[in-house]
């Protein structure tokens, strides 16, 4: 018998996620909520969910070799539990979760589209799996103009299937960073008190545009020898190229493979830079919203969600795609103009709080779930 208020969230390969923490707490009193985590071992997210009284099932999953067993186990879970709704997130969870839900006749099968043109540009052979997921889903959550265009124009999904729900953020959680947390973060990563810090939080992938930030910073550090460039989430397929590019300024660069207290990390930046290389490669870009909510003067390209609300000189400085010189000039402007920094901080916080509150997202999800 189907449990009318039972929702299964299927999530793959996530260690820590503020977004899922906020969503789970916001929904747990309204639905019988279960998270199925495809992970190789326990995670911070798993600990958080259990501590907050949310049911968790972990399915051991390292790579595609585990897919058949994960699929069979998930089918058995759906047969025994009979949830009313399955909501999948991220590629592996979506592929397995929707297939298992379809074969066990779960009527409401939802997935949130977290990638836009990535497969089309870099892994064309994977597009068929996105199309397969599109066909299995009864509804697809599109998070930005980039995912709208990818789903509608490139993958020809029916407009009736799409539901537009951008990510939501707990603004209070993003603004409450005490001086002690910030001090400990600097101490942890060897950043001197008073040192000017330019921050980047992005995996080392070609389309993130870090290869244009580095030459900009090389020019910047010639004028500001004590400045520091922090590259966080510093792993990925573009690592060798990034290592080569930072060689001349290696003493001014800090590589952070992973930092769990991401809010405190943002808070130690004097400037933040996020410059994906075209309008659609970033599906959403939570980092745009996080940086502005925390109050970091930022330099952006208009990719993902930024194309919908970032206005040059109102809430950030906008640079062209693949334009290292403009990035450098914007770094210099932000360092030298306190009035500009103050205006961007004030308007940035105001704009993201109006558009991206967690309460608005939760309300939209409740309407979708029924």
Q: What is the per-residue pLDDT for 311?
A: 98
Q: Is the dihedral of CA 187, 191, 194, 198 positive or negative?
A: negative
Instruction: Give which of 97, 85, 121, 68 is closest to 10, Cα–Cα.
Output: 97
DSSP states of 92-120 as a string? Answer: HHHHHHHHHHHHTT-SEEEEE---SSHHH
Q: Which residues pair with 85 in a beta bridge?
A: 7, 108
Q: What is the per-residue pLDDT for 272?
A: 98
Cα separation, 110 vs 138, whole angstroms: 6
Q: Write the DSSP symbol of residue 305.
A: T
C-alpha distances (whole Å) from 144 to each of 18, 19, 168, 239, 305 are 19, 16, 12, 28, 5
Give the SS3 label for residue 36: strand
Phi-psi region for residue 308, left (φ > 0), alpha (ψ -120 to 50) or beta?
Answer: alpha
Q: What is the per-residue pLDDT for 5?
A: 87
Q: What is the per-residue pLDDT for 144?
A: 98
C-alpha distances (whole Å) from 139 to each of 157, 176, 268 are 10, 36, 40
Q: Is the dihedral of CA 39, 174, 182, 309 positive or negative?
A: positive
Q: What is the per-residue pLDDT for 4?
A: 64
pLDDT tens by residue, the chain, 370 residues: 555 689 999 999 999 999 999 999 999 999 999 999 999 999 999 999 999 999 999 999 988 899 999 999 999 999 999 999 999 999 999 999 999 999 999 999 999 999 999 999 999 999 999 999 999 999 999 999 999 999 999 999 999 999 999 999 999 999 877 778 989 999 999 999 889 999 999 999 999 999 999 999 999 999 999 999 999 999 999 999 999 999 999 999 999 999 999 999 999 999 999 999 999 999 999 999 999 999 999 999 999 999 999 999 999 999 999 999 999 999 999 999 999 999 999 999 999 999 999 999 999 999 999 8
Instruction: Give which of 160, 233, 165 is closest to 203, Cα–Cα.
Output: 233
Instruction: Give which of 70, 100, 105 is closest to 88, Cα–Cα.
Output: 100
Cα separation, 285 vs 274, whole angstroms: 9
Cα separation, 237 vs 204, whole angstroms: 6
Structural domains in the chain, CATH included, are 3-170+357-369 (3.40.50.2000), 174-355 (3.40.50.2000)
Q: State the CB neighbour count (10 A cutoff) for residue 288.
A: 29
């Amino acid at each position: 018998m189907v449990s009318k208020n039972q929702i299964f969230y299927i999530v793959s390969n996530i260690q820590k996620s503020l977004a899922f923490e906020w969503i789970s707490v916001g929904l747990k009193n309204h639905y019988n909520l279960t998270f199925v985590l495809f992970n190789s071992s326990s995670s911070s997210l798993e600990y958080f969910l259990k501590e907050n009284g949310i049911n968790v099932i972990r399915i051991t999953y390292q790579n595609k070799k585990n897919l058949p067993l994960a699929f069979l186990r998930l089918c058995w879970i759906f047969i025994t539990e009979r949830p009313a709704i399955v909501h999948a997130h991220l590629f592996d969870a979506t592929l397995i979760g929707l297939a298992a839900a379809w074969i066990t006749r779960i009527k409401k099968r939802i997935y949130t589209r977290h990638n836009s043109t990535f497969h089309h540009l870099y892994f064309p052979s994977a597009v068929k799996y996105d199309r397969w997921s599109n066909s299995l889903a009864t509804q697809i959550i599109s998070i930005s103009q980039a995912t709208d265009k990818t789903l509608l124009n490139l993958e020809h999904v029916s407009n009736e299937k799409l539901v537009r729900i951008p990510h939501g953020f707990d603004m209070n959680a993003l603004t409450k960073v005490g001086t002690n947390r910030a001090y400990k973060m600097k101490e942890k990563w060897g950043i001197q008190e008073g040192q000017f810090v330019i921050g980047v939080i992005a995996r080392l992938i070609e389309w993130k545009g870090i290869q244009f930030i580095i030459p900009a910073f090389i020019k910047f550090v010639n004028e500001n020898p004590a400045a520091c460039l922090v590259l966080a989430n510093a792993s990925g397929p573009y690592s060798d190229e990034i290592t080569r590019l930072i060689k001349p300024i290696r003493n001014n660069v800090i590589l952070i493979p992973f930092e769990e207290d991401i809010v405190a990390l943002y808070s130690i930046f004097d400037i933040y830079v996020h410059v994906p290389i075209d309008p659609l490669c970033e599906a959403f870009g939570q980092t745009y919203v996080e940086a502005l909510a925390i109050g970091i003067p930022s330099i952006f390209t208009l990719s993902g969600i930024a194309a919908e609300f970032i206005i040059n000189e109102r809430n950030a400085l906008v640079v062209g795609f693949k334009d290292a010189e403009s990035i450098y000039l914007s770094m210099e402007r932000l360092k030298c103009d306190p009035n500009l920094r103050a205006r961007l901080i004030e308007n940035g916080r105001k704009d993201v709080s109006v558009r991206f509150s967690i309460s608005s997202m939760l309300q939209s999800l409740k309407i979708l779930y029924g």
